[in-house]
Amino acid sequence: MEFLVGGSALLLLVMGSVQLSLLWAGQGAVETAAHFAARKFALHARTDFRKAKEAALAEAASLCLHRPGGKWGATQLTSIEFSRHDKGNPTHSARPGEAYCLRLTHWLELHVPWVNRILFSVTPGKKAMIKGQYFLLLQSSRWVTVE
C-alpha cells in the first residue's frame, strides 16, 4: 500500500517537473519570439508596413512552433498587437525613428496528463480549456524603433 501511495506521489512529482520545464521553455520561447519579431518588424516597416507586420507574425509563430513541446495547432493561437508610442494604434505606414510596442500573445498547451489539470486550476493568470485541452496565456512585449 505504501508503495502505491509513494509511487503515485513520486510519479506526480516527476511529471510535474516535466510540465513546469516545458512551461519555462515556452515562456523563454515567447520572449525570444517577441525579440526576433520586433527586430524583423523594425527592419521592414519603413518599406512595406503590412508585409512587415505579416513577417513579424510569421517569425513569432515559427519560433513558438519550434520550441520544446510546440505543435502545429498552437501556432494558430499566436498573435501580435502593434501600437505606436503616444499615438495609440498605428496607421498604415511607418517613419524612421518611430517607436512601436509589439505585444506577443501565445497560448501554451499543457501536455502532461494529470499535472495539466492541477496546474490549470492553480494558475492565477489567463487560461482556457478548448475541447478538453488546457491552455495558459503567455505574453511578452517589446519596444522597437523603426530603422
For residue range 46-89, what is the model confidence (pLDDT) as tens digits? 888 899 999 999 999 888 887 766 665 555 788 999 888 666 55
CA-nearest of 43, 64, 66 to 55 is 43
Residue 105: per-residue pLDDT: 93
Q: How far apart are CA 1 and CA 104, in angstroms?
A: 48
At residue 25, what is the residue type?
A: A
- pLDDT tens-place string over residues 85-115: 666 555 677 888 888 999 999 988 888 888 8
Measured in residues, the chain has a length of 147
pTM equals 0.82
Residue 86: per-residue pLDDT: 63
Residue 109: per-residue pLDDT: 86
Residues 6+ apart with CB under 8 A from 50: 92
Q: Taking a C-beta distance cutoff of 8 angstroms, is the pair 130, 100 a contact?
A: no
Q: How far apart are CA 38 and CA 83, in angstroms?
A: 12
